[in-house]
Chain A
Amino acid sequence: MNRRMVLYMVGRILQIEALLFLLPLVCALCYGEGSVALSFLICAALSFAAGSLLTLARRAKTSRTLYAREGFVIVTLAWLSMSALGALPFVIEGAIPSFVDAFFETVSGFTTTGASILTDVEAMAHGLLFWRSFTHWVGGMGVLVFVMAILPNEGGGRSIHIMRAEMPGPIIGKLVPKIRDTAKILYLIYVAMTAAEVILLLFGGMNLFESLVHTFGTAGTGGFGCKADSIAGYSSYCQWVICVFMFLFGVNFNVYYLLLLGKLRSVFKSSELWCYTAIAVGVTAVVAVNVSSLYSSVSEALRHAAFQVSSVMTTTGYATTDFNLWPGLSKTLLVLLMFIGASAGSTGGGLKVSRVVLTFKLIRRELQKLVHPRSVSVVKLEGKKVEEQTLSNTAVYVMVYFVLFFVILILVSLDPIDFESAFTATAACFNNIGPGLASVGPAANYAHLSAFAKLVLSAAMLLGRLEIFPILVACSVSTWKKR
Chain B
Amino acid sequence: MKILIVGCGKIGATLLKNLVDEGHDVVAIDSDVSVLEEVTNVHDVMSICGNGADSDVLEEAGAADADIFVAVTGSDEFNMLACFLAKKMGAKYTVARIRKAEYNDRSLDFLRRNLELDLAINPERLAAHELFNIHKFPSAVKIESFSRRQFEMIEIRLGEESALDGMALSHLREKYEAQVLVCCVRRGEEVYIPDGNFVLKSQDRIGITAPPAQLQKFLRELALLKRRARSVMILGASRTALYLAELLLSIGASVKIIEKDEARAAEACEALPRATVIHGDGASQELLLEEGLSEMDAFAALTGFDEENILLSIFAASRGVKKTIAKVNREEFASLAEKLGVDTVISPKQLVGDTLTSFVRALENSRGSNVELLYKVMDEKVEAMEFKVVSDARLCGIPLKSLNLKKNVLIAGIVRERKSIAPTGESVICAGDRVIVIAPGGARFSDLSDILA
Question: Residues of A with Cβ closer than 8 Å to B?
Answer: 68, 153, 156-161, 173-174, 176-181, 384, 387
Contacts and interface: CB of A to CB of B under 8 A. Distances in A.
A387 B45 CA distance: 20
Interface string B180-206: 000000000000000000000000000
Contact of B46 (A68, A159, A174, A384): A174
Given A177-B27, A178-B25, A157 B42 contact: yes
What are the nearest 10 A-B pairs in CB distance? A157-B44, A157-B43, A177-B25, A177-B46, A174-B46, A177-B26, A177-B45, A157-B42, A178-B44, A179-B44
B33 A177 contact: no
Tell me which of A156, A180, A384 has the highest count of chain B C-beta atoms within 10 A of its own C-beta. Answer: A156
A277 B81 CA distance: 42
B41 interface: yes
A217 B304 CA distance: 60
B46 to A, nearest CB: 4
A176 B24 CA distance: 11
Interface in B26-83: 26-27, 33, 40-46, 49
Tell me which of A161, A177, A178 has the highest count of chain B C-beta atoms within 10 A of its own C-beta. Answer: A177
Contacts of B111: none
Contacts, number: 36
Interface of B: 2, 20, 25-27, 33, 40-46, 49
A177 B41 contact: no
B41 A153 contact: no
5 contacts: A157-B20, A173-B46, A177-B2, A178-B25, A181-B25
A181 B20 CA distance: 14
A381 B236 CA distance: 47
Contacts of B33: 387
Given A160-B40, A177-B27, 17 more contacts: A153-B44, A156-B43, A157-B40, A157-B41, A157-B42, A157-B43, A157-B45, A158-B41, A158-B42, A159-B44, A173-B46, A174-B46, A176-B25, A177-B25, A177-B26, A180-B44, A384-B49
Contacts of B26: 177
B25 A160 contact: no
Contacts of B27: 177
Contacts of A157: 20, 40-45
A161 B44 CA distance: 11
A246 to B, nearest CB: 30
B44 to A, nearest CB: 4
Tell me which of A157, A158, A181, A387 has the highest count of chain B C-beta atoms within 10 A of its own C-beta. Answer: A157
Contacts of B41: 68, 157-158, 160-161
B52 to A, nearest CB: 16
Contacts of B20: 157
A153 B26 CA distance: 16
A173 B60 CA distance: 14
A467 to B, nearest CB: 19
A181 B2 CA distance: 13
Nearest to A384: B49
Nearest to B50: A384
Nearest to B44: A157
A174 B49 CA distance: 13
A157 B26 CA distance: 12
Contacts of B42: 157-158
A213 to B, nearest CB: 37
A156 B44 CA distance: 7
Nearest to B40: A160
Contacts of A159: 44
A60 to B, nearest CB: 15
Contacts of A153: 44
B25 to A, nearest CB: 4
B259 to A, nearest CB: 39
Given A177-B25, A178-B25, A160 B44 contact: yes
Contacts of B2: 177
Nearest to B48: A173
Nearest to A179: B44
B58 to A, nearest CB: 15
A242 to B, nearest CB: 35
A176 B44 CA distance: 10
Contacts of B43: 156-157
Nearest to B60: A266
A178 B20 CA distance: 9
A177 B2 CA distance: 9
B7 to A, nearest CB: 17
A116 B44 CA distance: 40
A181 B26 CA distance: 12
A411 B172 CA distance: 80
Tell me which of B20, B25, B40, B46 has the highest count of chain A C-beta atoms within 10 A of its own C-beta. Answer: B46
Nearest to B4: A177
B18 to A, nearest CB: 13
A235 B27 CA distance: 49
A156 B17 CA distance: 11
Contacts of A158: 41-42
Tell me which of B2, B27, B41 has the highest count of chain A C-beta atoms within 10 A of its own C-beta. Answer: B41
Contacts of B46: 173-174, 176-177
A359 B41 CA distance: 26
Nearest to B24: A177
B91 to A, nearest CB: 15
A181 B40 CA distance: 15
Nearest to B16: A157
A157 B40 CA distance: 7
A179 B44 CA distance: 6
Contacts of A174: 46
A158 B43 CA distance: 6
Contacts of B45: 157, 177
A119 to B, nearest CB: 48
Contacts of A179: 44
A386 B49 CA distance: 11
A338 to B, nearest CB: 33
Contacts of A68: 41
Nearest to A67: B41
A358 B110 CA distance: 51
Nearest to A175: B46
Nearest to A164: B41
A174 B46 CA distance: 6
B118 to A, nearest CB: 21
Contacts of A173: 46
Contacts of A178: 25, 44
A177 B42 CA distance: 13
Nearest to B25: A177
A156 B46 CA distance: 14
A115 B260 CA distance: 72
A158 to B, nearest CB: 6
A177 B4 CA distance: 10
B57 to A, nearest CB: 11
Contacts of A161: 41
B24 to A, nearest CB: 8
Tell me which of B40, B41, B44, B49 has the highest count of chain A C-beta atoms within 10 A of its own C-beta. Answer: B44
A176 B27 CA distance: 8
Contacts of B25: 176-178, 181
A374 B25 CA distance: 44
A153 B23 CA distance: 11
A153 B21 CA distance: 12
Contact of B44 (A177, A384, A387): A177
A161 B42 CA distance: 9
Contacts of A180: 44
Nearest to A159: B44
A421 to B, nearest CB: 44
Contacts of B49: 384
A153 B2 CA distance: 18
A161 B20 CA distance: 18
